Structure 1
Amino acid sequence: MMIDSTTEVWIRLGVFIGVLALMMCWEALTPNRKSPVSKLARWTTNFGLIFLGSLVVRLLIPAGLGAVALWAQQHNIGLWNQFSVSLWWSIPITVVLFDCLIYWQHRLFHRVPLLWRLHRVHHADPHIDVSTGLRFHPIEIGLSIAIKLVAVVLLGAPLMAILIFEVLLNATAMFSHANIALPKNIEQLLRKVIVTQTMHRIHHSQIVSETDSNFGFNLSIWDRLFASYTQAAKNGDTGINIGLKEYPTQKSNSNLVHLLLMPFKNKPTGYK
């Protein structure tokens, strides 16, 4: 199937809206936990960040990463474009490699203090639901796009691989952050392959050792492979305290300007 960059954007938008709507309905019907702050206040700020992040992406790469992939292909740039490799091989390998890249990018944003200042906007959310999966500071979004852009060019990633990866990344981020709980036997089976809600909620714990684990967004293998996997939260799934102790729940999460300025304020004590 041949697609162009415009089709890629519409496919991504359609899947995004579909998964977002599905997760929001699921959360409304069977929520896993109750939010300690107003849903309206959280969603106003979270979706405000999502909107600003989308603007950053459009400004940095107006036609999307797919256009960059097509440009690299047309100019014979990148690893895959140097060899006659079947798309049946290059596409799945590229998707897996990009998933690994995002895993290490995530670990880097936890490890480097300057990058953590940006990423803590995501972790300061005192509740976790589908909107948290897309709540990132616009500068972090810009840096992530830059990292992926370099990877696309160096690898000469096929357009279809980029489409599949971006769709999976957005969909699984919303899925793993959703305020739901799968039946235990299904969850245990699924987490052998993909990151589940119970697995990722541990990453949003206020206990530092738990926060610095379970970095995966899509495939769960990376945490096991690179020794960052936590099987279960110390206080159990229902006992996890979500967010960061340094940020009062309502004050830190009901004001969009506050979240935008959070990385530039004095580093809070007691963490990192």
Structure 2
Amino acid sequence: MYSSPVSEAQFQLLRGAGFVAAVALAVLLQRLGPHARLRGSWQVNGTLWFANLIVIGLVCGACACTVARWAAGARFGVLNAVAVPRWFAIATTLVALDLVSYGWHRANHRIPFLWRFHQVHHSDPTFTASTGVRFHPGELLLSLPVRLTAVALVGASAEAVVLFEVVFTVANLLEHSDIDLPLRFERTLGRVGITPALHRRHHTKLGPDRDSNFGTIFSTWDRLLGTYLGNDSATAIETGLPGFDKLTLPRALVLPLQRTAA
């Protein structure tokens, strides 16, 4: 395995730049090709994002980069134990970490304790780019051991991890965006990736349909593991959770204390 030139400071800078670029792109596309011309819940969602920025920054910072650099030095993890081309290692990391994300997302819907936190994300009555940053701090903290363990076991380089996080962030914000895609392009993209229409179905108020389309970057995992449900931009879907159309920030923060059906 090659050594990664990415430091913790560079990791933070690249990840931050990727987030800003992803937000700008998502907002632009929502203006150019809106699906329902929705106004996002920026007051609640933006505050949650800022809270997560502080909490995760204090607890973790660039810990994924630190773990990756440790694994490389200790020759720990699959990719650190074999000699493979740089491009292959990066591609493998991208695929492997997205599969882990799929599994974690699915677990958030199947395990009642995890759903208590994840329901904050699904409680957004609108489906816009701001929904992509609407997460309870508890959910992100619970995901850290899973993410860091995956980075170590894969033997991912810091370079590959930051690339994954940028791609993941772009995919996450775009698939939550209030945008319509041209039908032919949407169908082509949906064969391998997650489109806004596919993820919109995952956010439906209809309980059974929420157990579908768990992917973030690739739709491959949903197709292979039986959780794929097709959808297109022409289909109108009511999103959110029943009874949570006007969820305030204080109530969102204590929502994990209240159990609802996944």
Query: Would you say the 8 A contact 2:11–2:62 is kept in 1?
Result: no
Give 1:76 deviation, angstroms. Answer: 2.3
Which letter does structure 1 place at the counterpart of 2:237?
A: I
**Partner residue in 1 for 2:145:** 146
Partner of 2:243: 246
Alignment TM-score, normalising by the size of structure 1:
0.90
2:205 counterpart residue number: 206
Aligned counterpart, 2:49 = 50
**In the TM superposition, what are the counterparts of 1:9-88 in structure 2 within 5 Å?**
9-35=12-38, 39=40, 42-88=41-87
RMSD of equivalent CA atoms: 1.7
Q: Could you give the per-residue CA deviations for residues 33-91 of structure 1, whole angstroms, max 9, x where no partner exists?
A: 143xx64xx10110111111122221222233112201221222222222233323222
Number of residue-to-residue matches in the alignment: 259
Aligned CA distance change for structure 1 residues 75 and 26 (closer, same or farther; 3 Å): same
Equivalent position SS for 2:66: helix
Q: 1 CA distance for matches of 2:193 and 2:153?
A: 27
Aligned to 2:161: 162
Q: Identify the residue that residue 264 of structure 1 maps to in structure 2.
A: 257
1:91 aligns with 2:104: no
SS of residue matched to 1:239: coil
Give, in whole Å, the separation in 2 of the partners of 1:26 and 1:223. Answer: 26
8 Å CA contact 1:19, 1:171 repeated in 2: yes
The TM-score, its normalising length taken from structure 2, stands at 0.93
Matched-pair identity in %:
35
User: Residues of 2 paired with 1:63 and 1:245: CA distance?
Assistant: 37
Task: Could you tell me which runs of 5 or more consecutive residues in structure 1 were left unpaired when the two chains were aligned.
Answer: none
- List per-residue Cα deviations over 1:117-173 (Å, max 9, x = no partner): 110000000010111112111011111222111111222211121011111111100
Q: What does 1:117-128 align with in structure 2 at a 5 Å threshold?
A: 117-128=116-127
Q: Which runs of 5+ in 2 are unaligned?
A: none
1:238 Cα deviation (Å)? 4.0
CA distance in 2, matches of 1:232, 1:85: 38
